[in-house]
Structure 1
Amino acid sequence: MNLLQIGAAALALLAALPAVAQKVAANKPISPDLFGIFIEDINYTADGGLYAELVQNRSFEYSPSDRGGWHPLTSWDYLHEGYAMGSLSVESAAPLHANNPHYVQLRVENPFQKGLGIKNSGFDGIALKAGEKYDFSLWARSKGGAAMPLLVQLRDAKGAVLAETTLSAKVGEWQQYRATLAPNASAPDASLVVLATGKGVVDLDMISLFPQKTFRNHPNGLRADLTQALADLKPRFVRFPGGCLAHGDGLDNLYDWKKTIGPVEQRVAQRNIWGYHQTAGLGYFEYFQLCEDLGARALPVVAAGVSCQNSGGSWRIGGTGQQCVPLADMAAYTQDILDLIEYANGPATSTWGAKRAAAGHPAPFNLHYIGIGNEDKQTPEFRERFQLIYDAVRTKYPNIEVIGTVGPAPKGEDFEQGWAFANQLNVPLVDEHYYENPEWFLANNRRYDSYDRSKSKVYLGEYASRGNTLFNALAEAAYMTSLERNGDVVRLASYAPLLAKENHTQWNPDLIYFNNSTVVPTANYYVQALFGQNTGTEYCANVVTLPTTVAADTVAASCVRDARSGDIIVKLVNVGGSAQSFTVDLSRFKGVNSAATLITFAGPKTAKNTFATPQAVQPKTTAYKASRNFTYTAAPYSLTVIRMRAKRG
């Protein structure tokens, strides 16, 4: 090769460099775990909601510390049928287990055939379906010289018996008794009745009723329809058991994972920071099992050795209630967290892996993430304890990715100090939270474009636009296109809160509302579902051209490619009141099939799904014919997803 040829080759190489650089910049990897869900026991998410137990206060452990006026017989009625004579009392002298100290004692002086007992109406009634089967159980012991006959019934609101069975409580130690009940009619507000029909004394505890059809038919499982709504989101991770719930209302209320595993009668119930009671029936084993069922990574969050700074209602005076685990106790506290990782990932021969195996899961749960802290005040005490835990986890389990915390807002002192601390320690991810109006989300679509890619990555753990209208949902959709665009720095994102029971909400808005028989997905839910169901492995820039005749913050778009399927997925968001045209250029992709799937989610700006109008807005799916270059006109107030098949690779 002569000098002239060498020079020409060099010029050709230089000319090609910009094109190569542009190609690299135009396609960048997206976190495989970008969109997930966050479960916190707020708004009766667990007991009375996701956890399928139908009996409220099944172990007689409610107390005034849960809520003013509550007591061990809250949600129970004392029954003396006909002319039955006797008495009822709550005892604690010889409990079923020390962690479950209260039980009911029935003293039957004369049953007069019908008997004496108790009735439970569940959480706003017990919803029963004809033809379904329900698993009943209780622990009992007869204190007299003979066994005590028990009559168990399901009754409708008028007292008609829908199903019944008989049991016999033996003399001696506590024993568990089981039966299957099949109601002959449906009832939205049934009750469970247990009657002692013989003369004598009998103790009762852990009175339970479960539908056999739980999600994936697990015993001690989850409500099938509500959990299916979570499954339909296609979450890639599940954060649990909460935010504020995890670090609790004072040190005595920290969420202790070890007290939530093992036989349910041995778990430790406690007051809920949101003003009710948590049985821990939905405990760490059930959370890990749910993650596995959903095909999602588990993301447990533990307290960073401090309680919520809002403990004791101190949010009213500036959040000065942060309490700290004494430094002398931090080694033991940190070991509890290391034990949690062993419980999830250790072999069945390890101390804590054996407890997982004993619960029915010999194989590891393959934990990858763990969150330390939640929205904590960035005090020296917090930072000292966080680092003790962080260093211990990093040393023993270097493959676990730790997620830190930077406060409850998108800016401010805790935010700035939290980020500086995380970058100082090289924490893999930090957990940002913010609840803002929809206009904020539209105006901040470029928030993560300028984040430093060399520093800690982001988990957007809690966000919502303060409303459940279609407009709110579309503002979130526009923002989620920016999360895809920045999927290299925003590794995880989850809307919050997830669930809320009708008439029992402590926080609004929420993603899914429900009562005992109905699940109402919000407009926000459908946006989350459309993004979760249409994820990609890489973001493709310069595919969609936004309309220029409208304000920039009212339109947004993204294009992702899924290398696993070869699909190209375009998302178009129009948050304005007039139709807008987007230009799509697919010329860079090979083998694009013109036969596409079109999903549109549109309606009036203020449209909202409620119990009265549960289907006011829903996505619609149709066929669509695409081309290498096309223009799509998006309806006012709409999210459009166009999914096209292309060659893999």
Structure 2
Amino acid sequence: MTFNSVNIKSILIGVFGFLIFGAEIAHAQQSKKISPNLFGLFFEDINYAADGGLYAEMVQNRSFEYSPSDTPDWHSLTSWNYVTQVFSYGTLNIETTNPIHPNNPHYAVLNIEHVGKPVTGPQSDIPQNKGTPGLGVKNTGYDTMIIKAGETYDFSMFARQISEEPISIVVSLQDTDGNILAEKNLTINSKDWKRYTVTLTASESSNSASILVLGTSKGTLALDVVSLFPQKTFKNRKNGLRSDLAQLLADMKPAFIRFPGGCLAHGDGIGNMYRWKNTVGPIEQRLEQKNLWGYHQTMGLGYFEYFQFCEDIGAKPVPVLPAAVSCQNSGGTWRVGGIGQQALPMEAMQDYIQEVLDLIEWANGPATSKWGAVRAAAGHPEPFNLEFIGVGNEDKMTSEFEERFNMIAKAVKAKHPEIQLIGTSGPFSDGEDFEKGWEIANENNVSLVDEHYYKQPEWFLSNLNRYDSYDRKQAGVYLGEYASWGNKLKNAIAEAAYMTTLERNADIVKMASYAPLFAKKGHTQWKTDMIFFDNKKFALTPNYYVQKMFSTNYGDTYYKNIISIKKDTTLSASCIKDSETGDIILKMVNTGTEQKRMKVNLSKFKNLIENAEKIVLEGNAEAENTLDNPNHIMPIESNFKVDKSFDYLAPPMSLTVIRIKTATENIKIN
């Protein structure tokens, strides 16, 4: 048989096309698109993370709502001192007969019976004779107040005149010796509750300041919601966040933030469940309550502030709502008398389901809708574009939970199919609750299942293949809480090795967030955390640096067989491409005690720019950062030259990130 030129041409085209098609198949097998939302943050008000922490309010117990139900020795005047100056006298009481709002029942009543006269001469130096004559209350804040010279602070309070004549007030910032750092005058002149404001600019700095509200004329008045904020909050927001701590989170460029918990969300008994509607109105109308972790929530950092912060830093909001059951450890079930998991009565379920649906309307509805109008009234007429809602948090998989979860999931999916629901697989990485949680989630066809586990570093290193065999046809994974037990470098590097496997499996592991986030000095209930702080400073753990190195160096496509580690169990690696920038990102982890060689083959990519950026976190396995020594372990940045193929010597106990720029975003098919 002979072939004419047309036949030969056709055959050649076919063969060439087959080769190209085959190469494309092979290339596709070497790469895969991965979740754009993998690395985010989880915020829970544990370890004084909110009040006294991220939330910038400086007055503790500002609404006089502390009680023994929070902590046995607390009461309405906890953190307040009754002050009489220069022979003034009267009384201070807590009353509830005519509050600002039923959600805020307690307020202070100052009855100023007599105001002394200023003392002159030698006796004016006696402490009890110093200062402005009057009677009032003083607050030293959460442990103390840090005041900076030249900084301006916004003071506000609600007050009403009870006696016939207006009452003169002096508001002052003072140091421990009573020296005035800033001072302003007010006149309480309304028989109705009214908000009074002044700005205070500090003349000097103090690490142990207080705010004093002093009545300087005879009369009786009521006080409530006594507040002091630095003007320099994050993004200068009113009722805002502590700027330095918020910036640390913004610097991580998280894809999402999950809030408000954690066990905090489903609470210590059904009466303590976190109800979002109590947290979105004016602060004087928000319902404060006991914190599951043994202190108090003002709800000043509420759903509006969480959503606003997410928007400010470009993170997606991921609110987690109770599944209409409380924490199974309610009442401390490890102690005699613990009450265990409680469930809302079935007759209350329709109202609760409506509460969940109302959240979606509040977040996404137009400003003309009922709950969209509440959002708009708070200053945000545009929708927040909510995509995810978590239902439940590491719950015990009881029949009560299952029945209520099913009801909530069915209602949300029917009314809002655009919302991605996140289920829960209980508190552990495996076991009966874990299996049941996955079963319930898959029966409801939810988008994601929230897994939680805290383990020793050795567990993470022994489970680097955990997600390789997960069924890609079932729900995705949200690894909502995880950490190795500790904040030493060895803990962080074990987590880094595990995170390379999350990237490898980011087609099924859609989201992940380390936990907990914050821990305040002297107020820590959890022994492993990402950021430690006090009122003045902070310490970033090696765990924080690992999380940041991953979250700020992420992309949308995973490539395998780029970095050769043979079968060395101390080595882990991943290769990610960011299509938006065209950058190729290599992450290489050495959990061993010796320097190890890794071979890198970049022949898949073309137009590489040889001058790359390198970040290395390394050091002694036992090293950690503390508030007294916050910079002991830090990542080091440098330039690094790359080629089509090269060897990299990974330091012992290290994470290395190499970011390689390309002249184009094209990938060469080999």
Give the TM interval when normalised to the shorter protein: over 0.9
Residues 82, 137 of structure 2: 8 Å contact kept: yes
CA distance in 1, matches of 2:318, 2:427: 19
Match of 2:120 in 1: none
Measured after TM superposition, the shift of residue 294 of structure 1 is 1.1
CA distance in 1, matches of 2:650, 2:137: 59
So what's the TM-score if we normalise by structure 1? 0.97
1:44 is paired with a residue whose SS is coil
CA distance in 2, matches of 1:17, 1:416: 41
CA distance in 2, matches of 1:350, 1:434: 40
Residues 547, 580 of structure 1: 8 Å contact kept: no
Measured after TM superposition, the shift of residue 158 of structure 1 is 2.0
Aligned AA (2:400): E
Q: Is 1:174 the equivalent of 2:193? A: yes
CA distance in 1, matches of 2:259, 2:102: 27
Measured after TM superposition, the shift of residue 315 of structure 1 is 3.9
Q: Is 1:36 the equivalent of 2:52? A: no
Aligned AA (1:648): E
Which residue among 305, 315, 324 is the counterpart of 1:296? 315
Which residue among 538, 541, 566 is the counterpart of 2:582? 566
Which residue among 38, 49, 53 is the counterpart of 2:53? 49
Residues 331, 338 of structure 2: 8 Å contact kept: no
Measured after TM superposition, the shift of residue 19 of structure 1 is 3.9
So what's the TM-score if we normalise by structure 2? 0.94
Aligned AA (2:600): V
Aligned AA (1:635): P
CA distance in 2, matches of 1:175, 1:390: 43
Residues 57, 75 of structure 1: 8 Å contact kept: yes
Q: Is 1:309 the equivalent of 2:313? A: no
Deviations for 1:43-89, whole angstroms, at most 9, x for unmatched residues?
Answer: 00110001100000000000000011100000000111121111111
Q: Is 1:100 the equivalent of 2:116? A: no
Q: Is 1:579 the equivalent of 2:595? A: yes
> Measured at CA, do residues 632 and 481 of structure 1 come closer, stay the same or move farther in structure 2, by a change above 3 Å?
same
Match of 2:366 in 1: 347
Measured after TM superposition, the shift of residue 23 of structure 1 is 1.1
Q: Is 1:610 the equivalent of 2:629? A: no
Aligned AA (1:22): A
Which residue among 633, 637, 643 is the counterpart of 1:621? 637
Measured after TM superposition, the shift of residue 320 of structure 1 is 6.5
Aligned AA (1:576): G
Residues 501, 514 of structure 1: 8 Å contact kept: yes
Unaligned ranges ≥5, structure 2: 118-132
Aligned AA (1:265): E
Aligned AA (2:635): P
Match of 1:518 in 2: 537
Match of 1:631 in 2: 647
2:410 is paired with a residue whose SS is helix
Q: Is 1:458 the equivalent of 2:458? A: no
> Measured at CA, do residues 483 and 298 of structure 1 come closer, stay the same or move farther in structure 2, by a change above 3 Å?
same
CA distance in 1, matches of 2:335, 2:35: 39
CA distance in 2, matches of 1:402, 1:27: 28
1:246 is paired with a residue whose SS is helix
CA distance in 1, matches of 2:67, 2:637: 50
Aligned residue runs from structure 1 range 243-282, under 5 A: 243-282=262-301
Aligned residue runs from structure 1 range 428-439, under 5 A: 428-439=447-458
Aligned residue runs from structure 1 range 498-537, under 5 A: 498-537=517-556
Match of 2:514 in 1: 495
Q: Structure 1 segments of 4 or more deviating over 3 A?
A: 1-21, 315-320
2:146 is paired with a residue whose SS is strand
Deviations for 1:438-489, whole angstroms, at most 9, x for unmatched residues?
Answer: 0111111111011100001000000000000011000000000000000100
117-126 vs 318-327, which moves further: 318-327
Residues 409, 415 of structure 1: 8 Å contact kept: yes
Residues 331, 339 of structure 2: 8 Å contact kept: no
Which residue among 557, 562, 575 is the counterpart of 2:573? 557
CA distance in 2, matches of 1:579, 1:527: 19
> Measured at CA, do residues 315 and 30 of structure 1 come closer, stay the same or move farther in structure 2, by a change above 3 Å?
farther
Deviations for 1:305-330, whole angstroms, at most 9, x for unmatched residues?
Answer: 11111111114479871111111111
Measured after TM superposition, the shift of residue 11 of structure 1 is 7.4
Residues 309, 319 of structure 1: 8 Å contact kept: no
Residues 475, 575 of structure 1: 8 Å contact kept: yes
2:186 is paired with a residue whose SS is strand
> Measured at CA, do residues 13 and 242 of structure 1 come closer, stay the same or move farther in structure 2, by a change above 3 Å?
same
CA distance in 1, matches of 2:619, 2:337: 41
Measured after TM superposition, the shift of residue 21 of structure 1 is 3.2
CA RMSD of aligned residues (A): 1.7
Aligned residues: 646
111-120 vs 495-504, which moves further: 111-120
18-27 vs 329-338, which moves further: 18-27
CA distance in 2, matches of 1:372, 1:420: 15
Residues 326, 342 of structure 2: 8 Å contact kept: yes
Deviations for 1:103-135, whole angstroms, at most 9, x for unmatched residues?
Answer: 111111111141011110000101111111000
Measured after TM superposition, the shift of residue 220 of structure 1 is 0.4
Aligned AA (1:607): A
CA distance in 1, matches of 2:56, 2:223: 21
2:597 is paired with a residue whose SS is strand
Match of 1:231 in 2: 250
Aligned AA (1:65): S
Deviations for 1:385-422, whole angstroms, at most 9, x for unmatched residues?
Answer: 10111011111111100000001111000001111222
CA distance in 2, matches of 1:147, 1:307: 48
2:514 is paired with a residue whose SS is coil
> Measured at CA, do residues 429 and 317 of structure 1 come closer, stay the same or move farther in structure 2, by a change above 3 Å?
farther
Aligned AA (2:608): V
Aligned residue runs from structure 1 range 113-152, under 5 A: 113=117, 114-152=133-171
158-167 vs 510-519, which moves further: 158-167
Residues 172, 184 of structure 2: 8 Å contact kept: yes
Which residue among 440, 446, 449 is the counterpart of 1:421? 440
Q: Is 1:22 the equivalent of 2:39? A: no
Measured after TM superposition, the shift of residue 185 of structure 1 is 1.1
> Measured at CA, do residues 315 and 406 of structure 1 come closer, stay the same or move farther in structure 2, by a change above 3 Å?
farther
Aligned AA (2:172): Q
CA distance in 1, matches of 2:67, 2:629: 37
CA distance in 2, matches of 1:441, 1:330: 40
Aligned AA (1:150): I
CA distance in 1, matches of 2:80, 2:624: 37
